Structure 1
């Protein structure tokens, strides 16, 4: 009789413990804890949720322009929110000759950018890629194809952002990107000597934007067969619909801004 009472008592205690502590199971004379996996604290959960939320909803300002460093427009790559050398979307940043990550080369000769027989693509080449050299991997220069995707698959409109003229791009997913019209550095034509002299900074008076890619046009140059030209993204605010287009007749010696892509 006493053994039966003891068994009933143990059974009742076991049921109460199982209901109160479902992670505990009873084996032969010992208690085992199942799934001993440490749970993240509340702070870790909040951080994870913040990252997930940022991937879905971007930080918009009062102008409707995305303020996050990485902007997902719904294209094959994500884009930087501002230019290399800048700290906000409206700043022009550094003007780079093609293949010169320092931005200090001002020679008018294409052979200086970066070599006489250059690689046809410097996208992801840390020696010459102006974006990767300054911001590190996975930032890099956009390819011709990625610039054309930006041009053809986004809605373009003239936009003035914080007193700076440029274009507002709206991607297929509704997210936005501001690209300013900037200065450019180009060779100065000397009428007296009928030749190009030192380079000058030209302010954006013509309201045309120019941004370089990391790829060259394999058709070659106009003067020397090795003088291949980089593909450039152009747009003009003088057009009623300032849709960008990509052209392979730029100059490697021209100093232009860089808008990087996030290749991950």
Structure 2
């Protein structure tokens, strides 16, 4: 079996076990503790458990904690695994929020796991911004001290792509803090962290960093007024919130404006699909082509021009970002002794998501699960629109989108335009670090595939 197939089989086996939570959990833990199981087997078992529908989030957390204790996983890899768990949670948004909140509030959940869960929730592509802010507020109330609360705030700031969303996270967090002194310290520290993050992006962000610095100075002055007895803490806090709202308006708040249209196809997840490809002016246009993890079109698509390639190299073995223990020990994500040293990132971060970067949050590229959902829940009819071949994809509610057979780019050539379609997901292949998941179709088939990351494929954005 290929690794992806093995994971699917293991997930199915877990869900079909006629046993309670503890028995299922122990069965998987036994695999992790087995001296006869290879690292690849253990990692496949973990991935399968994260996707299983019959394991609670608390059970998945406990499993990951065990994996870290026996050194199957590193602590910093926990959040990435939890993203998979969150993205595979069943139910509506409220049910997902409830499951995550329960896990955060569970007395048996370690502080490290709570912080990893917060990071995963902020990064998860199946949660709305409102849900993320609600979870952050709940987490602040559940965390034991100011230091851990501040870590949660910094995590939110680091992983929310939109400046306004970062400020909204600060507001949500300080609203959950009972102590005024902590609120004041947190907002200043958070703004400084945000300013540092923005400054690291380069001189093009200087104006925004200066605006944040000015607001931070004004807030510090308000705090001084409180300390000197010239104003009340409540009045100062109200002014601080007002200044944050003003800053949000100055540097971009909430969802980045976009004229992109989307269609509700009645999918179980509630995700909406854009009416046209990224860079296209109408549904039948092919739009732009992107290598996986790149945010700009280019003229040459090859390993030698790939963004996440070690300088001077032109072979898949030298990929520098988005790698996991895939057993391909000749890759630089393995040490000479065969130890995995990669980053374990398997889903595109917002900074590397072409849709997010071009359209703004909350637009993004679809996950592989969302592509599968589109395949499984819609009727696909090969047709022609404006002289372009492609599929009409119709949802159960009667709404539809058109996806043109835009072909793909390799080197400087456009191939198979009009006969085949290749659309990137945001998900790395579950079997190979050098490949990513994609939607593939021709006139007589439509399915998901995985392809070398350097190819230029089209992107169809999605919207929560």
**Is the TM value for this pair above 0.5?**
yes
1:94-243 pair list within 5 angstroms: 94-104=288-298, 106-109=300-303, 112-114=306-308, 116-118=320-322, 119-122=345-348, 125-187=349-411, 199-204=412-417, 207-220=419-432, 227-237=433-443, 239=444, 242=445
Structure with the largest fraction of helix = 2
* Alignment equivalent of 1:74, drawn from 238, 258, 266: 266
What SS is found at the alignment partner of 2:361? Answer: coil
Corresponding residue of 2:187:
none
CA distance in 1, matches of 2:299, 2:456: 9
Confirm or deny that 1:89 pairs with 2:283. Answer: yes
CA distance in 1, matches of 2:299, 2:305: 11
CA distance in 1, matches of 2:407, 2:301: 17
Contact 1:114 1:128 in 2 (8 A): no
Q: Shift of the alpha carbon at 1:99?
A: 0.9
Q: Shift of the alpha carbon at 1:211?
A: 0.6
Q: Shift of the alpha carbon at 1:114?
A: 3.0
Structure with the largest fraction of strand = 1
Corresponding residue of 1:28:
none
Q: Name the TM-score, length of structure 2 as normaliser.
A: 0.35
CA distance in 2, matches of 1:146, 1:184: 21
Q: Which runs of 4+ in 1 moved over 4 A?
A: none
* Alignment equivalent of 2:447, drawn from 236, 245, 259: 245
Q: Shift of the alpha carbon at 1:113?
A: 4.1
* Alignment equivalent of 2:461, drawn from 251, 260, 263: 260
CA distance in 2, matches of 1:145, 1:183: 22
What SS is found at the alignment partner of 2:382? Answer: strand
Q: Shift of the alpha carbon at 1:126?
A: 2.8
In the alignment, structure 2 segments of 5+ residues that lack a partner are 1-259, 310-319, 323-344
Larger-gyration structure (1/2): 1
CA distance in 1, matches of 2:408, 2:289: 7
CA distance in 2, matches of 1:139, 1:101: 13
Q: Shift of the alpha carbon at 1:110?
A: 7.4
CA distance in 1, matches of 2:299, 2:362: 25
Q: Shift of the alpha carbon at 1:172?
A: 1.2
Cα distance change of structure 1 residues 110 and 72 upon mapping to structure 2, 3 Å threshold: farther
Contact 1:101 1:133 in 2 (8 A): yes
CA distance in 1, matches of 2:372, 2:293: 20
Q: Deviations over 1:135-186 (max 9, x none)?
A: 1011001000000000111000111111111000110111011000113111
Q: Deviations over 1:187-211 (max 9, x none)?
A: 4xxxxxxxxxxx4222515x11111
> How many pairs align?
171
Q: Over aligned residues, Cα RMSD in angstroms?
A: 1.9
CA distance in 2, matches of 1:200, 1:111: 14
